[in-house]
């Protein structure tokens, strides 16, 4: 009986805190010096912040190479699964024409022609993007001469765009990092967030994500991660996902990791950031939807409950209720 009452209490807290929102893809555009970045995505993924970090690093790279003309870094985020990165390099105004709507005229994204590095991927690699940009800056005349109109109709794209042979990107990625790239990598770029004053955040440096605790203009290194998939601050707790399944829990007000590394079951079926809510006391819900071969209503909703003080995770509240 006690177990049933506890579950019922959790459900009341949970469903009164959950929100439902409509979904539509959107663009986020930022400018850093002569560099313009644009990302198309479907939810508030951390890839948005990564693209802004890339923009700041790209501005530094352009300055080191004495390139002052317009640059567009255009990112199409394939977030419903895994997509191998593909790169398109051109010298134009960034216009995309769409096969599915022949009457629709593409809009220029640059006020005058410049370097365009366009990519489609489920995750954007910072150093590889810098490699593509460095090649483009050093070879923009060749790109302008060799680019042709191509059709690209994969990963929910239906484009007609300019690009040089996409196989060239294989050679660029395989090339060794230049001294310029190595120098740029030493730069600290903090997670862009204008209202952040203190607590847990991170900066990118040397292709690592350094988690730091900041207070009174001082910072202390907490840990270093190879990747970051998501970061969410809820009440006095910070959830940082290194991948779509692995997460650690931090204290908002201390230099402290308060959990072991947890792995979420069925995470590979999830295609959007987790909905995390503080549901009372030290407990948090982590919720997502996924499609399953199991009978019944689709998609399935998986609800996890995390208890911070004991560092315990209920992987599937719905399953627990049936036991």
The residue-averaged pLDDT of 119-146 equals 98
**For residues 303 and 286, is the Cβ–Cβ distance under 8 A?**
yes
- Percentage above 90 pLDDT, the chain: 79
Q: What is the pLDDT of residues 49-93, one digit of tens each?
A: 999 999 999 999 999 999 999 999 999 999 988 899 999 999 999
The encoded tokens of residue 43 equal: 């939810």
Bridge partner list, 160: 97, 151
Higher confidence at residue 299 or residue 321? 299
Instruction: For residue 170, report the phi and psi dihedrals to the nearest 5 degrees.
Output: -65, -45
Cα–Cα distance between 27 and 74 in angstroms, integer? Answer: 10
**DSSP SS3 for 256:** coil
Residue partners of 137: CB distance under 8 A and separation at least 6 = 61, 62, 65, 67, 115
Q: What is the pLDDT of residues 291-317, one digit of tens each?
A: 877 777 778 889 999 999 999 999 988
DSSP designation for 105: P
Q: What is the pLDDT of residues 267-279, one digit of tens each?
A: 988 888 999 999 9
Q: Which residue has the tokens 């970051």?
A: 228
């Amino acid at each position: 009986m006690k177990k049933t009452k506890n579950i019922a209490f959790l459900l009341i807290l949970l469903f009164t805190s959950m929100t439902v929102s409509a979904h539509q893809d959107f663009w986020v555009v930022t400018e850093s010096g002569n560099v313009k970045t644009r990302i198309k995505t479907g939810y508030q993924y951390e890839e948005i912040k990564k693209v802004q970090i890339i923009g700041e690093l790209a501005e530094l790279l352009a300055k080191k190479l004495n390139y002052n003309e317009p640059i567009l870094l255009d990112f199409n985020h394939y977030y419903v699964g895994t997509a191998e990165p593909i790169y398109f390099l051109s010298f134009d105004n960034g216009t995309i024409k769409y096969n599915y709507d022949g009457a629709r005229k593409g809009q220029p994204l640059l006020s005058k022609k410049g370097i365009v590095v366009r990519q489609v991927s489920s995750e954007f690699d910072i150093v590889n993007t810098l490699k593509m940009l460095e090649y483009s800056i050093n070879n923009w005349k060749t790109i302008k001469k060799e680019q042709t109109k191509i059709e690209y109709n994969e990963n929910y794209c239906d484009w007609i765009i300019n690009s040089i042979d996409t196989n060239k990107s294989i050679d660029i990625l395989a090339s060794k990092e230049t001294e310029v790239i190595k120098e740029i990598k030493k730069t600290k770029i903090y997670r862009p967030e204008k209202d952040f004053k203190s607590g847990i955040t991170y900066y990118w440096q040397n292709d690592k994500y350094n988690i730091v605790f900041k207070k009174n203009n001082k910072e202390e290194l907490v840990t270093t991660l190879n990747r970051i998939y998501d970061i969410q601050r809820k009440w006095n707790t910070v959830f940082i996902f290194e991948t779509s399944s692995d997460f650690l829990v931090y204290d908002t007000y201390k230099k402290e990791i308060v959990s072991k590394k947890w792995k979420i079951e069925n995470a590979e079926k999830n295609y959007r950031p987790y909905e995390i809510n503080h549901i009372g006391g030290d407990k948090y819900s982590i919720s997502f939807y996924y499609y399953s071969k199991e009978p019944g209503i689709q998609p399935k909703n998986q609800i996890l409950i995390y208890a911070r003080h004991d560092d315990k995770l209920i992987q599937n509240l719905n399953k627990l209720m049936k036991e």
